[in-house]
Amino acid sequence: MGDDPASRVYVNNKKKACEAVGFMSEEYALPEHTSQEELLNLVNTLNKRDDINGILVQLPLPKHLDDKAVIEAIDPKKDVDAFHAVNVGKIMLGEYDFLPCTPAGVMEMLHSYNIEVSGKNCVVIGRSNIVGKPMAMLLLHENGTVTICHSRTRNLAEACAQADILVAAVGIPKFVKAHMVKEGAVVIDVGMDRDENGKLCGDVDFENVKDKCSFITPVPGGVGPMTIATLMKNTLKAAKLQNNVK
> Residues with catalytic annotation?
14, 58, 81
Beta-bridged to residue 149, according to DSSP, are 125
Strand ranges inside 54-174, DSSP E? 121-125, 145-149, 165-168
Q: Where are the alpha helices (DSSP H) in the chain?
A: 5-21, 36-48, 67-73, 85-93, 101-112, 132-141, 156-160, 206-209, 223-242
* Pick from 162, 88, 167: nearest CA to 126: 167
Structural contact between residues 160 and 123, judged by C-beta atoms closer than 8 angstroms: yes
* Pick from 81, 63, 64: nearest CA to 72: 81
Number of Cβ atoms within 10 Å of the Cβ of 234: 23
Structural contact between residues 150 and 126, judged by C-beta atoms closer than 8 angstroms: yes
8-state DSSP, 118:
T
8-state DSSP, 145:
E
Structural contact between residues 124 and 167, judged by C-beta atoms closer than 8 angstroms: yes
Number of Cβ atoms within 10 Å of the Cβ of 140: 15
In degrees, to the nearest 5, what angle opens at C-alpha 72 toward C-alphas 68 and 76?
140
